[in-house]
A and B are shown apart, each in its own frame.
Chain A
Amino acid sequence: MNAAPRTSLPAPPVTASRRRILARTRLDFWLDALLLVAYTLAYSLGFTGVATHEWLGIGLGLALLVHLTLHWDWVIRTTGKLFGRGGRERFVWLVNLLLLLTMTLCIASGILISEVALPQLGITVTASSFWRQMHDTTATLTLILVPVHAALRWRWIVGVARRLAAWRPGRSR
């Protein structure tokens, strides 16, 4: 076995700014993972039942606001440089825009056709076929766009997952 040489340089000290970036990366990773799991469960209506589906949808809506807020800098930066960027970055931006539109309309229409969650809160709405159809169509579109959205960043996901797997508290990874 090769033992590490005793004369090796000590690891550089972790600066406060680096630590902040690491914490932010961890937050992004776990929030995104949570969103993906919640979305998958919410889409599987037969598994969750109506009440869980609706409450998960509402929770997903709130979590998505946080997700979008955390990545708002990327939105501004990419939108500003949209025409100067390469084809891939423009494609990612377009997928994200479509996902924002469809997910917002899906959650909004889901709230408007709610059968359990809203009545539990004392709010009653009469669901129209328009919102029901909107919910079905946008839900199908999100099922296509969500995995595409996640897979477009698979290198980042794999990289962070590897670092997190090797991460120990107190170590700078």
Chain B
Amino acid sequence: MPKPHRLTRRQFLGRTLTAGAALTIVPRRVLGGPGYTPPSDTLTKAVVGVGGMGRAHLAYPGAALLAVCDVDDGHLRTALDLSGPGVKGYHDFREVLERPDIDIVHIATPPHWHALISIAAAEAGKDVWCEKPMTRTIAEGREVVRAVGRTGRIFRVNTWFRFEDPFYGFGSEVRPINKVVRSGLLGWPLKATIGAATGFDWKFYWSGRTNLRPEPVPPELDYDFWLGPAPWKPYHPHRVHGTFRGYWDYDGGGLGDMGMHYLDPVQFLLGKDDTSPVEVWADAPQQHPDACGSWRRIEMRYADGCVIILDGENRDRNAAFLEGPQGKLFRGFESDIPGLRDRIAALPDPELQVTDFAEAVRTRRRFALNERNGHRSCTLVNLGKIAVQLGRPLRFDPDKQEFIGDDEANRLAGQPMRAPWHL
């Protein structure tokens, strides 16, 4: 299973190489016997965007790698070195989508490309495994939902805490928390606080730099293609690989990077997979028009009174992760409700979801975190970004997915793309 972050390069290479070796398709005549997977049943995949996270995708299990694609020749060469024989390299993702023998397209480009490639992949009949954040704008997310829906593709976003792994520093998986919420022991509505006190420490590294002195584009990088739908701006290495998250044109700082990891499980716990908040408010220093900066606090309120607080400065030192009118749930599953663990142990487990992507692809069943709920949780990220940028409280219509009475916020929710790219 993919684990996030903080691997050293050495560990990373070691892991990638072993996983890569396991991926080799052994022909039937060699393996034989029962239990083998006939090659025709082997799912196949391509990875688009093979810098940073893309390299991890090479080794994700479940499908055999056939193609890698990147607009940086250096990245492409490295990925080809890592992925062994039989894998072909591409510069243009559209050529990858034309290959009929590829089932799944992994998208690990910067976020400003996620929507276009997801839609094109769905239109081309591919299933999609897309990095977080799902899309850079709310409008892009809506189009991905439509395209995946009308083409009947299977889609997943690459975060998984709603169905497995202890939930960052919280010290528990989501499943038992879900049972607590459904038991009604906490009451309703709930307030979820995300900050150090509740086990979730925000990443603040991702800030952009201002006053960049333009530098020549390195020969291995097709900068125009890398920008694609994003506005054209002079090249500087800090705008691209590894540090692109610091710029609004491509992502949204720490919120873009970690927001979906933290927010998706909360949305799931609150049962808000098919709606969005009606109010959002951010306390942040003024944002540079180009470079993302930090923020102190973001609050989002749903129509039924449920509230999500992103405590960026970890001010709420005694906050509960979940707080309802009748009880609280703290980090490490502490609670003011006596015997909580035993009480929920008696409750039935929630209905099983499809949490194996290959299985979802084979059985054509919706993956646990798919384009619809993924778009809703990415909307939380995008609402937060816009609130931070505009620095004023915003009202949102979760059905129309538009801001109410704020043209400018709506302009940020659906920014035009640079020609010839279009949704």
Answer yes or no: are A and B bound together in one complex.
no
- List residues of B whose CB falls within 8 A of some A CB: none
- List residues of A whose CB falls within 8 A of some B CB: none
